[in-house]
Amino acid sequence: MNIAANIGPALTLDVADAESIAELRRHAEGCARCDLYRNATQLVFGEGPDKAEIALVGEQPGDREDITGRPFVGPAGHLLDHCLEEAGLDRQRCYVTNAVKHFKFTPRGKRRLHAKPNAGEIRRCAWWLGAELNLLQPKLVVALGATALYALLGPKVKLTPERGHILQPTNRPPVLVTIHPSYLLRIRDEAEQHRQRRQFVSDLHKAAAFQLR
């Protein structure tokens, strides 16, 4: 486990105050801290046990999540479920959330194409992510992709060199760095996709070890 000298906005900025995840979710429903709420269907908050030992943090809701109001229920979410199962990690015992709670997209005809959240939007939404983690006090946080990593550990910690490593911020839960499952869906080369998937499952095995402690 490596010491992380830097921590990101979700762990350093002022965050929302609530007595429970349910209360925090109610407060978040009317969030207008950035402009993303204007075009999104609804806020997509985290879900899972209030005492979850593992918190999985992704980037933002996608089209399917925006419609249903639940995190990780689209194609990337289904792939994540399969990889968690392969790794021996029970999603029902994890808390699953995103760094940004509203869907950011670019309209393209009838389709809504994913658009990456910017630093300001991530920092604004850290108000909720930081509060979620404060309430959960998980044994381990899994950063799924670069946006989650930025929210948790700041801009100086890069995904590629730290992938598969567990970093320990001072006085905060350790953070396991890995890819977002949507990355696997974008790989066209079949052999490379299988290789990256095996590595992703291997990363998740490390989270499973924390759940068994």
pLDDT in tens, 34-58: 999 999 999 999 999 999 999 999 9
Q: Which residue bears the tokens 């998937």?
A: 197
Is 154 within 8 Å of 7 (Cβ atoms)? yes
CA distances from 37 to 8, 33, 42, 96 (A): 23, 8, 7, 20
In the chain, pLDDT over 70 holds for what percent of residues?
Answer: 96
Q: Which one-letter DSSP state was computed for residue 100? A: S
Q: Which one-letter DSSP state was computed for residue 36? A: G
pLDDT in tens, 66-97: 999 999 999 999 999 999 999 999 999 999 99
Is 51 within 8 Å of 138 (Cβ atoms)? no
pLDDT in tens, 1-16: 776 667 999 998 899 9
Question: pTM of the entire structure?
Answer: 0.96
Q: What are the backbone dihedrals phi and psi of residue 181, each rounded to the nearest 5 degrees, phi first? A: -60, -25
End-to-end CA distance of the chain: 16
